[in-house]
Amino acid sequence: MVEHEDRLSRVFSALADPTRRDMVARLAAGDATVSELAAPYDVSLQAVSKHLKVLEDAGLVSRSRDAQRRPVHLDAEVFDLMTKWIERYRQQAEERYQRLDALLDRLQGRDNDESKDKGAAG
């Protein structure tokens, strides 16, 4: 449980940075080397490597053992961990809103009935 919690924290934390989200976006289109990933940014290879380390620790990317290129690969399955968490609570919140709406409709329906009764009586 705690391990799972920590993993989720690491994934959310890794994606809380625009440069890292941008890297994930580019890796979704295809594997890339560190130099390829660094090209569009005005930062050092070292800074890019640090960002990759954070993504790697969160399980979002992995690197091939190919010693020459070591392309970075997106492990998109980790997204499931997040979407499951989000969907669970979004659904719960939505169901609650729907119940509230239904309750309001019923209350309003009763008010209408009461007005009608009053109208019939008067």
Q: At closest approach, how far in Å is the CB of 24 from a copy of itself?
A: 6
The burial of 59, by beta-carbon neighbours within 10 Å (0-12 exposed, 13-18 middle, 19 or more buried), is given as: middle
Q: 3-state class of 16 per DSSP?
A: coil
Q: 3-state class of 74 per DSSP?
A: strand
Nearer to a copy of itself, 14 or 121 (CB): 14
Q: Cβ of 57: how many Cβ atoms within 10 Å?
A: 14
Q: At closest approach, how far in Å is the CB of 53 from a copy of itself?
A: 16
What residues line the site for a copy of itself (CB under 8 A)?
A: 5-6, 8-10, 12-13, 15-18, 21, 24-25, 27-30, 74, 76, 79, 82-83, 85-90, 92-94, 96
Q: At closest approach, how far in Å is the CB of 121 from a copy of itself?
A: 37
**Do 39 and 88 meet the contact criterion of CB atoms below 8 Å apart?**
no
Nearer to a copy of itself, 5 or 66 (CB): 5
